[in-house]
Amino acid sequence: MERYAPRARSDAYGRRINREHSPLVALALPWLSILLGSLLPLFIIATALPLVPPTGYLMLVAWRLLRPGLLPVWAGFPLGAFDDLFSGQPFGSGILLWSLTMIAMEFLDRRIPWRSFLQDWIAASLALLGYVLATFLLSGAQPGIPGLVALGPQALLSVLLFPAAARIASALDRWRLTRWKVTG
């Protein structure tokens, strides 16, 4: 028998017969990627300046803007607490800032429900700049002018890296909904 349309039984997430989405992967992947993002700066020794962008927060914002409603509003609490364990900030700053971010994003969804990527980028940039500044002020050290100036490269890098983070989140999102072969 001749197959006349080989792709007829598949969509962007793979073939459909005998395959199903995995609820585990679909639900855990965003969380895991954010947790990994929190761990990532740990591997880099950048002692001169706080140069590395807050990758965990970057992933959180990327996922939140890409898929509103996938992460619950309260997700900032556990994820922020995990970030606090490794970020070197005083414990609680991540919980506070990440929770506030999630609430702020809800309000953004109310005001501007339909957004282009550019608007997402602007929203993410504002969030990242606010976050970098707030972590500096809440770092437990006396904030001084030289330290503030030293934040510049990190803030710039964070804003410029958002499109990459959004790409990673969307690639993971495609993988999240892949259908896996059902055995038995």
Q: Which residue, 82, 58, 86, 61, is CA-closest to 71?
A: 61
Counting contacts by CB under 8 A, is residue 14 touching other proteins? no
Q: Which is closer to other proteins, CB of 44 or CB of 126?
A: 44
Tell me: does residue 39 bind other proteins (CB under 8 A): yes
Which of 139, 163, 177, 178 contacts other proteins by CB under 8 A? 139
Distance from C-alpha of 40 to C-alpha of 42, rounded to nearest angstrom = 5
Query: Is residue 116 a contact point for other proteins (CB under 8 A)?
Result: no
Q: Does 118 bind other proteins (CB under 8 A)?
A: no
CB of 128 to other proteins, least distance (A): 11
Our finding on whether 149 is near other proteins (CB under 8 A) is: yes
- Tell me if 103 contacts other proteins by CB under 8 A: yes
Q: Report helix angle 23-39 to 55-66, nearest 10.
A: 150
Cα distance between residue 16 and residue 7, in whole Å: 10
Spatial separation of the C-alpha atoms in residues 78 and 92, rounded to whole Å: 11
- Listed residue (99, 79, 92) closest to 39, CA to CA: 79
# residues contacting other proteins (CB under 8 A)? 62
- Sign of the C-alpha dihedral computed for residues 30, 92, 102 and 131 taken in this order: negative
Answer whether 61's CB lies under 8 Å from 124's CB: yes
The two three-digit tokens of residue 21, written as one number? 């989405």
Is 168 a binder of other proteins (CB under 8 A)?
no
Residue placing its CB nearer to other proteins in the complex, 117 or 180: 117
Considering the rule CB under 8 A, would residue 87 count as an interface residue with other proteins? yes
- CB 183, min distance to other proteins, A: 32
Q: Which residues bind other proteins (CB under 8 A)?
A: 39, 41-55, 66-69, 72-74, 76-77, 80, 85-100, 102-103, 106, 109, 113-114, 135-136, 138-142, 144, 146-147, 149-151, 154
